[in-house]
Copies of this chain bind each other. A is one copy, B any other.
Amino acid sequence: MNALVNFAIARGSAVPSAPDRVERRDDIGIELLRRHVPVVRRKIEQGEYLYRAGQPFVALFLVNVGCFKTCELADDGREQVTGFRMRGDLIGAESIGLPSFACDVVALESGEVWELPYPPMLTACLRVPELQARLTSALAEEVRRDRSWMLALGTLGAERRVANFLLDLAGRHARLGFSAHHFVLRMSRADIASFLALKHETVSRALSHLDALGLIAVQRREIRILDADGLRHGAEAGAVH
């Protein structure tokens, strides 16, 4: 069972009234791709850049194995992790319409991506409406994901942001068939902190506190979710201090 090319599948949206009604035809998708696009398997090492901002935009990527972070950067050196991508996620779509990539993408562990050369991808989309629809949906989904995080960053305190982050990760793991209650963080505290608009010390403190509350168990990068509902509802109030 090939769970790839789920980039047309809606993920946890903030809209309660909109369940994931979208068709889950992964195999068709991946078969579509392989039939119409010359897919290139590409290994990548930990710490290696999949691409950097400014390099010519020549392909999209589909994560097969591994975990990646996307980094937005400003002229003055400011840097911000804008997301984490894992198996089945599409990478590079944000740069469509530009001559060169718009951000950095770094491998957090060694892995493998499927490279989808863009011109062939484009012509394939023209001939296969289904493929085009999937790409468009994936882009819309990307927007929704980012907006959802803007909501979290704008309305939640530090500890709840971290809790939210863990729940998001748990959900994605579950969707990939992994345990939602026990997993390993592939990214450093600093990466999490940047993504959540915090400092790494604050992330550490939040994790320690959630641990002390009995909601999770932390051991460096190993996470155990002990009380998902507790995390969801808000571990802010009733701090045992």
| Residues B137 and A97 in contact, CB atoms below 8 Å apart | yes
A186 to chain B, nearest CB (A): 20
A239: interface (CB < 8 Å): no
A18: B residues at CB distance < 8 A: 53-54, 98-100, 102
A158 to chain B, nearest CB (A): 13
A54: B residues at CB distance < 8 A: 15-18
A197: interface (CB < 8 Å): yes
A155: B residues at CB distance < 8 A: 74, 78-80
| Residues B94 and A147 in contact, CB atoms below 8 Å apart | yes
A206: interface (CB < 8 Å): no
Instruction: Using C-beta atoms within 8 Å of the partner chain, give the interface range for chain A.
Output: 35 or more
For A100, the closest partner residue in chain B by CB is B18
Contact of A143 among B10, B22, B139, B153 (CB under 8 A): B139
A129: B residues at CB distance < 8 A: 126
A202: B residues at CB distance < 8 A: none
Kindly state the separation between the CA atoms of A136 and B90 in the bound complex, as whole angstroms. 15
| Residues A100 and B151 in contact, CB atoms below 8 Å apart | no
A144: interface (CB < 8 Å): yes
A78 to chain B, nearest CB (A): 4
A197: B residues at CB distance < 8 A: 150, 153-154, 197
A204: interface (CB < 8 Å): no
A64: B residues at CB distance < 8 A: none
A115: interface (CB < 8 Å): no
| Residues B147 and A15 in contact, CB atoms below 8 Å apart | no
For A126, the closest partner residue in chain B by CB is B129
Contact of A16 among B22, B75, B142, B149 (CB under 8 A): B75
Given contacts A8-B97, A79-B155, A96-B137, contact A72 B143 (CB under 8 A): no
Contact of A80 among B93, B100, B102, B151 (CB under 8 A): B151
Given A82-B150, A94-B143, A103-B147, 13 new contacts (CB under 8 A): A10-B97, A14-B74, A21-B99, A70-B147, A74-B155, A78-B151, A78-B156, A95-B140, A96-B136, A96-B139, A102-B147, A132-B132, A153-B154
